Chains A and B, each alone.
Chain A
Amino acid sequence: MKYNAVTVTQLNKYLKDRFDEDENLNAILVKGEISNFKNHYTGHLYFTLKDENSLIKCIMFKSYAEKLAFKPKDGMKVMVFGSVSVFERDGVYQIYVKNMIEDGIGDLHEKFEQLKAKLEKEGLFDTSHKKQIPLYPKVVGVLTSQTGAVIRDIINVSTRRNPNVYIRLLPVPVQGPGAAEQIAEKIKIMNDKKLADVIIIGRGGGSLEDIWPFNEEIVARAIYDSELPIISAVGHETDFTIADFVADLRAPTPSAAAELAVPDVYELRQKINQYQNRYRMALKKKIELMRLRYEKCMRSRAFTDPTRKMKDEYVMIDSFIKRLEIKMRNIQKDKINQYIALTTKLDTMSPLKTLTRGYSLVEKDNEIVKSVKQLHFDDEIKIRFFDGEKMAKILEQK
């Protein structure tokens, strides 16, 4: 009997061909837990995927591994997508992983959306509730891990913008169990003791699981209840957390948060300078305007020929006086005429006038004698003629 043996190589080659022909094995999604994880210096990832009963080897080449959004590690539950094939040299079959995501993340997404909807309905995201970030906070409070890039970035950016910045770091764990409770408590402490004028809470980017504390309700409510304005800075540009929605301001990165919290003092100084220049200019313009008005006034006739007005008045007064004089003279003349008329009339009525016609007047003791009975023997009388008087004596005795 002749045995038709194949070589090991032939067998493995045959098996590889059979694997590769299988459509199911060419594009397969497998879930399991990572163990034996090795990040090779070449950049390829080697690990095994296991569940309670079974395990399978996995390899993820550098070109795919580079695109991963998270850092895989032992114990992590993942879903891998790739093809199953045979490594001929070792006679093992393994998964050639093209992409990998964290498992259970679907649940987290759902939890995220549910909480988001709930809090939104409650009004925790309302813009009307959002507080203004002060223009120039005296103290910037930072809630983050005391180690790592986040606090370093914040300090760097802040000091660059304001060399005299005052930063108070209150360290908090930013991932793992209990982190959310700690963050919420520290927000309350900052508020109770008024330790800052503005608070930055943040952490670097990471898997949805890593940043999960910032999606917890307790943190959201602590942010909402905070009287101090809060800037959230979680992860990188695209990661949105519940904390971001509740916060008074959302910064895409911790560095950006520092820029929002700490004003650039050079810019502020410039702004003050600009204000100074502007009001100086405004006052200058005002004064210039007043000067022009003044000059216009000074050019007016009142100032260029100040006596003219006076001259005019003199002329007027003169003419008044003249008119007054004429009036006076007329009155005087009238009065004289009246006087002449009256004296003429008086003259004609005078008794002296009668004397000229040959009558005479007898007076005794300076009284006119009207009757013969007034006269007695030897009385002296005065006889008045028109041209003089003579004394006489009564000669008759009876």
Chain B
Amino acid sequence: MSKDNFEESMKKLEEIVTELENGNLNLDESVSKFEEGMKLAKQCNHILEDAEKKITILLENNGEIKEEKFDVEQ
């Protein structure tokens, strides 16, 4: 699964929780769903932690876009 897909991971995680809570799975399925959930949760947390703060300004010059750090004037 793509690393970007936080939203999808969260949705899957939610589905897994519901499935497990419904209790209709057998033990093997439950355990494998549980493992998948662990993996997804780890992935989601990873995406959140992996981001890096960036505030930039896009400067346009003849159709070329240049990205520079942007400092807010107070």
Contact = CB atoms under 8 A, between A and B. Distances in A.
A166 B30 contact: no
Interface residues of B, number: 40
Interface in B39-74: 41, 44-45, 47-49, 51-58, 60, 65, 67, 70, 72-74
Contacts of A165: 51, 53-55
A290 B52 CA distance: 45
B30 A283 contact: yes
Interface in B13-58: 13-14, 16-17, 20-21, 23, 25, 27, 30-31, 33-34, 37-38, 41, 44-45, 47-49, 51-58
B21 A135 contact: no
A169 B58 contact: yes
Contacts of B48: 136, 164, 265, 268-269
A14 interface: no
A195 interface: yes
B21 A282 contact: yes
A152 B23 contact: no
Contact of A155 (B4, B16, B72): B72
A276 B10 contact: no
Given A275-B41, A289-B23, A166 B7 contact: no
Interface residues of A, number: 40
A253 B54 CA distance: 23
Interface string A180-212: 000000000100010100000000000000000
B7 A135 contact: yes
A167 interface: yes
Contacts, number: 109
Contacts of A104: none
A283 B51 contact: no
B52 A166 contact: yes
A233 interface: no
A167 B54 contact: yes
A283 to B, nearest CB: 5
A155 B48 CA distance: 18
Given A155-B72, A276-B41, A189 B60 contact: yes
A195 B65 CA distance: 10
Contact of A286 (B6, B27, B49, B51): B27
B73 to A, nearest CB: 7
Contacts of A151: 72
A89 B18 CA distance: 82
Contacts of A147: 73
Nearest to B57: A169
A286 B20 contact: yes
B16 A279 contact: yes
B7 A169 contact: no
Contact of B51 (A162, A193, A269, A282): A162
Most B C-beta atoms less than 10 A away, residue of A159, A165, A265, A286: A286
Given A166-B53, A289-B23, 12 more contacts: A164-B53, A165-B55, A166-B52, A169-B57, A170-B60, A269-B45, A275-B16, A275-B41, A279-B20, A283-B34, A286-B20, A290-B27
8 contacts: A152-B72, A164-B52, A166-B52, A167-B70, A168-B56, A268-B10, A268-B48, A282-B30
